[in-house]
Chain A
Amino acid sequence: MNLAFSEEALALSKALMKRYPEGKHKSALIPILHIAQAEFNGWLSSDAMDYVASVIGIKPIEVYEVASFYSMFNMQPVGKCSLEVCHTGPCAINGAESLISYLENKLNIKLGQTTADGMFTLKAVECLGSCGSAPMLQCGVNYYENLTNEKADDLINKLTAENRLQSYTDIK
């Protein structure tokens, strides 16, 4: 296991652990797992989770059981940009289904797949709290709302040009 956080991420993790009472620093697990995903290519390998366990000083199993519970933690490799289209109720009746079809055709992948160049992963996710601005998707820390095919094209172009991991925490 040769994985390790950058100095900045390690300092941030240590600071987060101090936000909780003496002996309760396991509370920082979820915030630190977000950092780990940002540090380690957008997903949590066994090595990444073992490393997080060592940072916090808990058993690896305590990390695995939490990481596997929450939908924002990827247990498999993903593209640099995860396009997460909300497909719950209000979004479903206001264009989410056609947006998903459009993105599938445009990127030439199906839901859950990653483009061959490793740039985009397409996902359908449950309600993101953007019901009044459907259809929408989340990519990294950003919400993209009231989407049309044209806006989706622009977004794909923008993300392709940026060519970097879009992480939720955006700590860098």
Chain B
Amino acid sequence: MSGKILLEHIDVPGINTFDTYRKMGGYRSVEKALKTMSPEDVVEEVKKSGMRGRGGAGFPTGMKWSFLAKPVGVPRYLVCNADESEPGTFKDRYLMEKIPHGLIEGMITSSYALGANTSYIYIRGEYFYILRILEKAIAEAYANGFLGKNILGSGYDLDLYVHPGAGAYICGEETALLESLEGKRGNPRVKPPFPAIAGLYACPTVVNNVETIAAIAPIVNMGGDEYAKIGIGRSTGTKLISASGHINNPGIYEIELGLPVEEFIYSDKYCGGIKNNKKLKAVVAGGSSVPILPANLILKTANNEERLMSYESLSDGGFVSGTMLGSGGFIVYDEDSCIVRNTWNFARFYHHESCGQCSPCREGTGWMEKVLHRIEYGHGKLSDIDLLVEVSKKIEGNTICPLGDAAAWPVASAIRHFREEFEWHIKEATLSQSRNFGLLAAHPALVK
């Protein structure tokens, strides 16, 4: 095995077309499932695979599927979450653009397993050009008998549609996504009931990330047990990592879970090291929401063990000295990076994206943005640092959806690991220095 599963055929010319995709073994999982397996068999294989949701939360997909309610006479829905908006994450875009049939095959096999006869792909509005790519691929799948009535003579019917959003990070939260798909504002719902009981149009619904659904085809093809042999421990399979920031080779990499972080950053097969021969300062390993870690803690755990690209290893040490694999949005910062400015940038993002339903998030994200702005622009007070920590604690855990936590963690972790840089900004930086991003960040005392 090349080590690649989702991207095995990424370099085959024409892999975006039905004919080439089919020639390379595409749609085999649909044939296998519809002709030789019951829906329950498919769910069982996904359970055995141990695959955890690739959108960020990492909840086991097979277990999520098994929660789906099946009242008689009520339609069930599968909705693909293609609202990829977590800063640092661009893997789903890559997958859908390059191998659209991979997602469509996964949607058909998964819809069969869940007993859904109508399924939707909810894609962020900014990806409109990919919506066109998917619609073309869906038309090809219909024309070849893999969608529509009586697929492959099995008696199973499925209609598949792509639905655009219109610019709202919150719609990546599954209940906000369902509200949006129903033609409403993207306000997350109070849970319970969970979508598995009352989701789209109050019917039982599963919402899964693009990468999760695309992985269903290889899981069904090779069997759950085989898939579970890939990876390490409870981090089974491969994961797409979006690599960005100050590295030589930004892009999408499919890695076997368990790859050492150091190898991922420095090997020419992956990020290729830090740009311009600079030193590594920090990494945000799983999208902007997860705690930022300084170089020493991203390469090794607090117990001096090698840090691996896996759910368990990245979260080793909890939030004191660890972080999360999250969506796999891997952002690398070199020695000249200004952590205060970056934290302010993320705080602005979450303030902008807060839906406004819950006061702690609506008000708290605004406060964090303002306080960080004044520190960055030379008007901060030393007491502002503890104020930020306090505000982040008031948001965390006190909101309907996880956006509040996602906004709190980057701020709390930046202060936890880079407190002296915040203090330096407040005590030493003049306004003119602060405005000069590069100069300020290069202060010798701050380079570790």
Contact = CB atoms under 8 A, between A and B. Distances in A.
Interface stretch (B62-70, B80-88, B300-308, B315-323): B80-88
B263 interface: no
Interface string B335-373: 001000110011001001101000000000000000000
12 contacts: A21-B75, A26-B183, A30-B125, A34-B128, A70-B168, A70-B186, A126-B87, A129-B93, A131-B245, A134-B244, A168-B126, A170-B128
Contacts of B251: 132
Contacts of A21: 75, 118, 201
Given A30-B180, A88-B87, 20 more contacts: A21-B118, A24-B201, A30-B164, A30-B183, A34-B166, A66-B183, A66-B185, A70-B186, A89-B288, A89-B346, A92-B341, A92-B342, A126-B352, A127-B88, A128-B126, A129-B84, A129-B89, A132-B250, A132-B252, A141-B128
Contact of B166 (A28, A73, A90): A73
Q: Which 4 A-B pairs have the closest CB atoms?
A: A70-B166, A132-B250, A71-B167, A29-B183
Which interface residue of A73, A128, A130, A170 has the most chain B CB atoms within 10 A? A128
A65 B185 contact: yes
Which interface residue of B89, B129, B251, B355 has the most chain A CB atoms within 10 A? B129
B242 interface: yes
A70 B163 contact: no
Interface of B is mostly: mixed
B168 A129 contact: no
Contacts of A30: 125, 163-166, 180, 183
A16 B337 CA distance: 47
Nearest to B85: A127
| Interface size, A (range) | 35 or more
Interface of A: 19, 21, 24, 26-31, 33-34, 62, 65-66, 69-73, 87-90, 92-94, 97, 125-134, 138, 141-143, 168-170
B181 interface: yes
B124 interface: yes
Contacts, number: 141
Contact of A168 (B128, B169, B437): B128
A90 B331 contact: yes
B333 interface: yes
Contacts of B89: 129, 131
A89 B331 contact: yes
B164 to A, nearest CB: 6
| Interface size, B (range) | 35 or more
A118 to B, nearest CB: 23
Given A89-B342, A128-B126, A27 B182 contact: yes
A129 B252 CA distance: 12
A91 B127 CA distance: 17
Contacts of A170: 128
A131 B185 contact: no
A62 B184 CA distance: 8
A129 B126 contact: yes
Nearest to A146: B250
Nearest to B243: A132
Given A129-B89, A129-B124, A69 B186 contact: yes
Contacts of B183: 26-30, 62, 66
A65 B219 CA distance: 42
A137 B184 CA distance: 28
B182 A126 contact: no
A26 to B, nearest CB: 4
Contact of A34 (B92, B125, B184, B341): B125
A88 B437 CA distance: 15
B329 to A, nearest CB: 7
B331 A71 contact: no
Contact of A127 (B165, B184, B349, B355): B349
A10 to B, nearest CB: 18
Given A129-B124, A131-B329, A70 B165 contact: yes
Contacts of B337: 93
Interface in B158-193: 161, 163-169, 180-186
Contacts of B245: 90, 93-94, 131
Interface in B243-299: 243-246, 250-252, 284, 288
Nearest to A131: B244
Given A26-B182, A88-B87, A94-B245, A70 B167 contact: yes
Contacts of A127: 85-88, 169, 288, 349
Given A27-B181, A126-B349, A89 B164 contact: no
Which interface residue of A62, A94, A127, A128 has the most chain B CB atoms within 10 A? A127
Interface string B51-83: 000000000000000000000000100000000
B282 to A, nearest CB: 11
B345 A89 contact: yes
Contacts of B342: 89, 92-93
Contacts of B84: 129
